[in-house]
Amino acid sequence: MKIAKVSVALFGAALLFSAAAVAGESNKGTLLLNDKVIVEGKTLDSGHYTVEWTGSGPTVQVTVLRGKQTVTTFSAHVTEQLMANEKNSYSTLAEPNGSKALTAIYPSGKRFTLQLEQNEARQQAGTPTSK
């Protein structure tokens, strides 16, 4: 009887940890910026970044990291798409001063876009460029 309880507890723990590992990976992606971009007033240099998002529903909190260092955090709307994104990509909008504002992130293999809240109205007014 004691062995059965321990076995059930170990099996339950294994399921819990495997579910947590899968859930953790599903809210994470990589982002290669080819240009300097502006996010929430902060300049991100070109290079490799990790993007993580938390929350459920149409609005999530997005964290951009370079290595283990948090670079910026912002809110984004999750916009469903018909097909999965083929690769990690992003879109920008040219600002009047010549800089580029990040407007959306397209995580690879996902059927949604992370649309930055601050740029939604401006993006509808202009033409975004996709990378």
Contact in structure between 46 and 16 (CB atoms under 8 Å): no
Q: Worst-scoring range by mean pLDDT, 21-25, 47-51, 94-98?
A: 21-25
At 65-86, the pLDDT tens digits run 999 999 999 999 999 999 999 9
Q: Say if residue 52 is exposed, middle or buried (CB neighbours under 10 Å; 0-12, 13-18, 19+).
A: middle
Identify the pLDDT of residue 117.
Answer: 80
Residue 90 pLDDT greater than 50, yes or no? yes
Q: Give the gyration radius of the chain's Cα atoms.
A: 19
Q: How many domains does the chain have?
A: 1
User: And the tokens for 68?
Assistant: 């283990």
Strands 42-44, 112-116: pairing is unpaired
pTM beyond cutoff 0.75: no
Q: Identify the domain containing residue 34 by its residue range.
A: 29-130
In a domain, 123, yes or no: yes
Flag whether pLDDT at 54 surpasses 50.
yes
Q: Is residue 12 part of a domain?
A: no
* Inside any domain, residue 8: no
**Span between the terminal Cα atoms of the chain, in Å:** 60
